[in-house]
Amino acid sequence: MGNGLEKLEKLPRAILAHTPTPIEHLPSLSVKIGGAVLYVKRDDCTGLALGGNKVRQLEYYVGDALSQDADTILITGAVQSNFVRTAAAAAARYGLTCHIQLEERVKSTDALYRDSGNVLLNQLLGATIHSYPDGEDESGADRRVHEIADDLRVQGRRPYVIPLAPGYPPLGALGYVIAAQEIVSQLTAIDREVSEIVVASGSGHTHAGLLFGLRMLGSSIRVLGICVRRDSAAQELRIRARCREIAELLEVQSRVTDADIYLRDDFLAPGYGQLNFPTREAIRLGAHHEALLLDPVYTGKAFAGCLQRAQELDSQETVLFVHTGGTPGIFAYGAQLLEGQ
Ligand SMILES: Cc1ncc(COP(=O)(O)O)c(C=O)c1O
């Protein structure tokens, strides 16, 4: 068994992200909230069509698609999915056709939610849009997207489905195994020890990839995942499975233990894609004090968790928040974000 890096380097990869993304100190907010010193990893700045974490993940999916000579990318996600938008952008960049399926996971009739933000960008990027009206139904949505792929094959196309549900090799997580290396070398270069990294935990590719990558390098930095889609108990099973799958993919022994999987779901309510008061406050704090633009679905919730955690630690410790992007969501939730202001 190797150390994983040889295998990682052999896997097909399409370069899409602007990296390394910066790591920045958040001096005003660190003083304002008290507790640990705050830093941010600016993965909202990965570049492709407003960036975000999914750009790093797509490098491996699009690489795989191109190596299979696909001519069409298919993907499913929530109406305001950032993954879908960046997949449409990656397809445009590589001259591939893109079909996207938008799932009605969030009950919203708000015109901004339905037409602005990521939805607007999907159209600009030239994707063909399908609707999945059945609400939260991960396996049903996945089945449907494979049926669309079958229809496309009948028409002579060569589709590649980017999976989100469990049960597929976690290619996307590899983008964050690489990001872990990037973070460790950046922290070494600025001579800053970080005790904890905080990140949104949804499909779990980002969280699991980072955790796996850090442990693979021998780093013991804690990784706190803030649940944005399902509660801690369910998410723990996902992260454990994803780490196991990454080990299989890279043909290495995983160094991630069950004790490494650390999650909080305090900011999930009332559910995926639905804003709550502490998240709105965290978004305001980030914007007012650091000009950090956070979104209501992912990074706002994760940042609320990050601030809570930083307040539990002392000023000798440093917490690094991974800003995973989601910028277009700010416009889709504009009316709700400004409520009470
Ligand atoms: C902006 C943003 N942050 C975080 C996440 C969660 O990442 P993951 O699905 O890898 O857990 C997503 C997922 O769509 C996202 O769009």
In total, the chain counts a number of residues equal to 341
> Does the pLDDT of residue 135 top 90, yes or no?
no
Which ligand 1 atom sits closest to the C-alpha of 329?
1
In the annotation, is 232 catalytic?
no
pTM of the model: 0.97
Q: What percent of the chain has pLDDT over 90?
A: 91
The count of C-alpha atoms lying within 13 angstroms of the C-alpha of 308, restricted to the half-sphere facing its C-beta, is: 19
Q: Which of 178, 206, 229, 267 to mutate to test the pocket of ligand 1 (most atoms within 8 A of CB)?
A: 206
Q: Which atom of ligand 1 is nearest to the CA of 57?
A: 10
Report the pLDDT value the prediction gives residue 106, as an integer from 0 to 100: 85
pLDDT tens, 301-332?
999 999 999 999 999 999 999 999 999 999 99
Residue 162 pLDDT level (bands cut at 50, 70, 90)? very high
| pLDDT classification of 289: cutoffs 50, 70, 90 | very high
- The pLDDT score that the predictor gives to residue 46 is 98
Give the helix ranges, DSSP H, for 155-298.
171-190, 205-216, 232-250, 277-290
Query: Are the folds of 5-52+169-337 and 55-162 the same?
Result: yes
Catalytic residue among 30, 67, 81, 232: 81
* C-alpha to C-alpha distance for 319 and 253, rounded to whole angstroms: 28
Mean of per-residue pLDDT scores for the chain: 96
Q: How far apart are CA 137 and CA 153, in angstroms?
A: 25
Helix, strand, coil share of the chain (percent; to 5): 50, 15, 35
DSSP string, 208-222: HHHHHHHHHTT---E
Atom of ligand 1 nearest to the CA of 173: 10
The response to whether residue 80 sits with its C-beta less than 6 Å from ligand 1 reads no
β-bridge pairing 37-42 and 23-25? antiparallel
**Helices 205-216 & 53-67, crossing angle to 10 degrees?**
90
The radius of gyration of the chain's CA atoms, rounded to the nearest angstrom, is 19
Ligand 1 pocket, residue 201 CB under 6 Å: yes
| The pLDDT of residue 332 | 95
pLDDT of residue 2: 66
Say whether pLDDT at 210 is over 60.
yes
For domain 5-52+169-337, say whether CATH 3.40.50.1100 is its number.
yes
Q: So what CATH class is 55-162?
A: alpha beta
Say yes or no: CB of residue 325 within 6 Å of ligand 1: yes
Assess whether pLDDT exceeds 90 at residue 23: yes
Residue 81 alpha carbon to ligand 1 centre in Å: 9
How close is the Cα of 5 to the center of ligand 1, in Å?
A: 24
97 token code pair: 């056709």
Q: What pLDDT does 1 receive?
A: 53
Q: Is 85 in the pocket of ligand 1 (CB under 6 A)?
A: no
Average confidence (pLDDT) over 143-150: 96
Q: Is 52 in the pocket of ligand 1 (CB under 6 A)?
A: yes
Confidence at 59, pLDDT banded by 50, 70, 90: very high
293: left (phi over 0), alpha (psi -120 to 50) or beta: beta
Task: For the chain, give every domain's residue range.
Answer: 5-52+169-337, 55-162
Residue 6: what pLDDT?
A: 87
Query: Rounded to an integer, what distance in angstroms lies between the CA atom of residue 46 and that of residue 56?
Result: 8
State how far the Cα of 27 lies from the Cα of 95, in Å rounded to an integer: 43
C-alpha of residue 175 to centroid of ligand 1, in Å: 13
Is 252:216 a contact under the CB 8 Å cutoff?
yes
Distance between Cα 97 and ligand 1 center (Å): 23
